[in-house]
Amino acid sequence: MVRKSVAQVAVTIGILVAAGCAPDEKLLCQHLQEVYEGQADQPNYLQDIDQCIEFQEKKKKRRGVNSYRREAECVLAADTVYVVRRCEQKETNRSE
């Protein structure tokens, strides 16, 4: 089941990159909820899908579309919490 999701995400990322767009916040939040499922240490914004979407929209405005797109593509390709956090840290370091 996870493999199927990863394949779907990979196809979605390819389409988005080809179109030059940032990934949809809802898609990103759904993926994050799957990755963090069963984890005790979830970010507060993952408690509710609408809250997560709002958080991602604010992040996109604060950092800019290109920075948001790089991080979102990395996160969508991630299949573990460790990789998600590494994606977030990498883009945070780049934007500072």
What are the structural domain ranges in the chain?
2-95
Rounded mean pLDDT of 84-95? Answer: 88
Average pLDDT rounded to a whole number, residues 80-91:
94
Does the pLDDT at position 91 exceed 90? Answer: no
Q: Is the pLDDT of residue 7 over 80?
A: no
**Runs of H (alpha helix) within 37-80:** 49-63, 65-77
Is pLDDT of 45 > 50? yes
Per-residue pLDDT, 18:
45
Which comes out higher in pLDDT, residue 74 or 20?
A: 74
- Provide the pLDDT confidence category of residue 21 given band limits of 50, 70 and 90: confident
CB atoms within 10 A of CB 67: 17
**Residue owning tokens 């840290």:** 89
